Amino acid sequence: MNRNERRRRKKMRPKTAGQSPDAASSMTRALEFHQNGRLDEAAGHYKDVLKAEPQNIIAHSNLGAAYNDLGQLDEAMAWHDKALAIDPKNVEAHNNKGNTLKALGRIEDSITCFQKAIILKPDLAQVHYNLGTVFQDLGQLPEAADCFQKAIVLHPDYADAHNNLGNVHKDLGRFDDAITSYRKSLALRPNHAATHNNLGDGLREQGLWDEALACFRKALELEPDLAEAHSNLGHVLQEFGQLDEAVESVRKAISLKPDYAEAHNTLGNILNSLGQLEEAIACYEKAIDLKPDFPLARNNHLHGMLYLPKITNQELFRAHRRIAGEFVFEGRLPVQQPDLTRPPGSRLRIGYVSSDFHGHPVGRNVLPLISNHDHDQFEIFCYSEATKHDDITDQFMHHADHWRVIKTQSNAEVAEQIRKDGINIMVYLGGYFDSNRPSIARHRPAPVQVSMHAGGTTALDEMDFWLSDAVLHPDTTTELFTEELVQLPNFYAYPIPEDTPQMSALPVDENGFVTFVSFNKPCKMTDDVLDLWSEILTALPDARLHLKFKNYLATKSLSQRIMARFEHNAITPDRIALLAGVDTVQDHLALYTQADIALDTFPFSGATTTFQALRMGVPVISLAGERFITRMGASLSLHTGIDGVTAQSTDEYVEQAVALANDRPRLRELRASLRERLGTSPLCDGPGYARNLENAFKIMWAKKSEK
């Protein structure tokens, strides 16, 4: 999190001409104590001045400022009012009163005070700055930026104004501008820890991880107890795969600032990466307790629950219903009947909202749809919450008819934009993953509302449909949800990757033993999963297992947890390879040349990992569970046309893995044919997939129109 520097600069004047010697001496001491933070002593000396000179407006105003900094706000207000009673046009008194009103939460009155001061003296940079901080707190970021820019024009060396302007730029998603502002602030004030922290935050958003790391370390060198920098450092260390060090850093932040909700959320993310799932959930709950209006923590809480091995469908539904219902709802828009009329011959207007319009699994899954829409029949609007921008973002922008950036807008503001755009069908991508906001649907901005690529139900009464397929949700599904299911011929779609490594020969033919792999997140590798994999290895005494996810398995506590479980199951360490490294996509895919068979995880199965394995000619053994998130790998394999790799029970999972490992002719046939079979399957037919979705949209619209 960034840290705004909003020091209230008091204009402290020396004695005026004609001031008595005693009053002048008291004023000098008062100013000295005030500037050194000895506020009680400063207040006493200001009162001494007023005993000698009851009409001394500077003493009144500064005494109010001292009480403001002491947190005695009612006392501060009394002295501000006395100063203004003496001189209603005193700029400093209006400015100081504005600061106290802001601290009291009387925001509109605070703005009025600052604006009066500006009318009286338009060239006072400090007042423009203070007004900017109020707009910043209100989330009125363009107005805040304007104030900070005016302050900088009047006072180019105003380091705080450059810093806060950087914060506004960052919140608006203007990361290049934010970094420029932070660097200007640091050029004026090189040893300011909070600004180094803010610069690191901006660099991190740009994916400049090494530079961000250096900034956070510099901030902590200057101010070792800066909680925000410790938390941000933990975030970067997690990205580098240094998970144990990341935990230590964020715990330090929490020890310094126990009510730091963002740090509790960050700690939850790191513990989740380590597979400490219950502890992660507790962190998200703590973050929500501290900051109920914290959508990201609520999203992470719901996301994290999907990994829990023992959770039932009923428990998941209750949790989604409860947490989704607790999302802060900033006032319902005026109730309107959904407008299901359309001008004859008009196109259906389809809106997509997501934080993942970039190189993200959801982004890659949705791109074949967006890039193949029939624009003669459909008008496409994309509402982007994304902070990252890459070549995939450029492709989305190219294929959409309209592109809206919504990152700084509230749910109500986004809903109002959707209504103004006249959207007929609104598609909410990604459910509660990442920074997605299905809660916008609560405002009912479109007559038809659809959930897509959610891990579970949105639990929103206003969400009409949930896109799926017959594998993800068979007719016998026991999953609970509020939406009506719409089953596509196949739910998943992928662009065929470019520059895919060449196929290799079957490793078992050279090695003499079968090599299993799983490149899923370690948080999916629960004891239940490791135990089942151990059964397979026990049944195949010569088999090996390679595990990898980024460089996470270089983390000591994580590798020890995994290896300890295998040793508990009598699997010797020489049969397990924990791989670590930050690879390119091509290098990552090349690791599959070492694999004969991939093993899927449960209850959170693999989608992208399954597709990548199939692309490299590696079949994937999956365990089809009782809900969408447990059946993703099964859906991909079955739509590729592979039989005998989707188990309905743990016993069958082991049996299928062992049987396939012992069937070398079939392994050779799959190695030779899988890439072509996948490429010609419905999973890689972008135009066909788009037609299926468009037909589904027409059916949804017709269903709603008939009601």
Three-class SS of 673-689 = HHHHHHHCCHHHCHHHH
Give long-range contacts, CB 8 A cutoff, 24+ apart: 607-613.
Answer: 607/361, 607/365, 607/492, 607/632, 607/633, 607/636, 608/361, 608/364, 609/518, 609/519, 609/520, 610/636, 610/637, 611/492, 611/494, 611/636, 611/678, 611/683, 612/519, 612/588, 613/517, 613/519
Beta bridge partners of 427: 352, 450
Around Cβ 487, how many Cβ atoms within 10 Å? 17
| Cβ contact 153:124 at 8 Å | no
Beta bridge partners of 404: 383
pLDDT reported for residue 487: 96
Q: What are phi and psi of 517, to 5 degrees?
A: -140, 155
Distances (CA, A) of 211 to 179, 405, 482: 12, 27, 45
613 pLDDT higher than 60? yes
pLDDT reported for residue 328: 54
Taking residues 652-680, report their average pLDDT: 97
Domain boundaries, the chain: 225-327, 348-488, 507-684
Residue with tokens 């020091």: 7
The rounded distance, in Å, linking the Cα atoms of 19 and 21 is 6
pLDDT reported for residue 539: 98
| Cβ contact 614:637 at 8 Å | yes
pLDDT reported for residue 19: 54
pLDDT reported for residue 496: 87
Beta bridge partners of 515: 544
Taking residues 152-164, report their average pLDDT: 97
Taking residues 133-144, report their average pLDDT: 92
18 pLDDT higher than 90? no
Taking residues 103-120, report their average pLDDT: 92
Select from 299, 304, 306 the least CA-distant residue to 326. 299
The rounded distance, in Å, linking the Cα atoms of 296 and 262 is 9
7 pLDDT higher than 60? no
pLDDT tens, 66-95? 888 888 888 888 888 888 889 899 888 888
Class (C level, CATH) for 348-488 = alpha beta
Ranges assigned E (strand) in 362-505: 378-384, 402-405, 425-429, 448-452, 465-469, 484-488
Beta bridge partners of 378: 348
**Computed from CA positions of residues 47, 49, 52, 57, in that sequence, does the dihedral angle turn out positive or negative?**
negative
Q: In the CATH scheme, what is the code of domain 507-684?
A: 3.40.50.2000
| Cβ contact 69:12 at 8 Å | no
CATH for 225-327 (1.20.58.340, 3.80.10.10, 1.25.40.10, 3.20.20.140): 1.25.40.10
The distance of Cα 18 from the centroid of its chain, to the nearest Å, equals: 61
pLDDT reported for residue 75: 84
pLDDT reported for residue 139: 85
pLDDT reported for residue 6: 39
Q: Percentage of residues in the chain with pLDDT exceeding 70?
A: 95
Q: What is the largest CA-CA distance in the chain?
A: 105
pLDDT reported for residue 1: 38
> Strand 620-623 relative to strand 348-354: parallel, antiparallel, unpaired?
unpaired
pLDDT reported for residue 17: 43
Identical topology for domains 348-488 and 507-684: yes
Taking residues 534-547, report their average pLDDT: 98
DSSP assignment letter at 355: S
Whether the link from the prior residue into 603 is cis, omega within 30° of 0, is yes
526 pLDDT higher than 90? yes
pLDDT reported for residue 293: 87
